[in-house]
A = this chain, B = another copy of it.
Amino acid sequence: MEPKKTSKGEQTRAQILEAALDLFRERGYEQTTMRAIAEKAGVAVGNAYYYFESKEHLIQAFYARTHEEHMAASREVLDQERGLRERLLGVMRAKLDTIMPYHQFAGVLFKTAANPASPLNPFSAESLPVRRQATEIFAEVIAGSDTRLTPELAAELPNVLWLYQAGVILYWIHDSSPGCARSYRLMERSVKLVLRLISLFQFPLLRPFLKELLTMVADLRSEPMPAPLPAQTVE
């Protein structure tokens, strides 16, 4: 639409981003300097800051990339499978598969992502859109399956599953078994447990318990996580 305004800038932006991601892959995040990125991209250091607020913000691009890959991979699974088990398992496996190539710098990613003041923080307002999208995948896992759930459970479950997924990723980040085999095992076994839990909760006996759990979760989510503390500045 406005090719004049963007084309040149967009190109520079892309050059910087590619240079950054290449170098991150090659030698890791910490070992990559902004000077090196600028040099590889053929621009001045200052220019990188014209396009990206900070070194951390360069990660956000990579983040988005992974997310999109996962969405695509999930779509395939969800178009194929009808069983709740297969759908959940497929989506979870797709997630691990997508992030596997980046395992070596997962730590840094997580470190910045975990900072409450960071825009990369998955609970932050800035990443709400991505979080919502990710939750929607789980909503689809449930909605498109041949298993019928009580409405209350179906309403809150996607958020719980998103949290569950975050837990698995947390384990994965710390996992250095070959090929992250332990993470895959955790994922498979815990999916089974999650499904058992879900079917258990259909028992009337457990209804009051489920109800309390769900209202708690919903209540805690109700007020969106507030903005980063003003006192705390990101470095």
Contact = CB atoms under 8 A, between A and B. Distances in A.
A229 B193 contact: no
B209 A200 contact: yes
B112 A116 contact: no
Interface string A182-225: 10011001101100110010000010010011001001100101
Interface residues of A, number: 51
A200 B208 CA distance: 12
Given A182-B220, A216-B186, A116 B110 contact: yes
Max chain B CB contacts within 10 Å: which of A28, A31, A108? Answer: A108
A115 B108 contact: yes
A229 B177 contact: no
A62 interface: no
Nearest to A234: B30
A104 interface: yes
A232 to B, nearest CB: 5
A196 B207 CA distance: 12
18 contacts: A28-B232, A30-B235, A107-B116, A107-B117, A107-B228, A107-B229, A110-B114, A111-B114, A114-B114, A116-B173, A116-B174, A121-B174, A176-B225, A176-B227, A186-B216, A189-B216, A193-B213, A196-B209
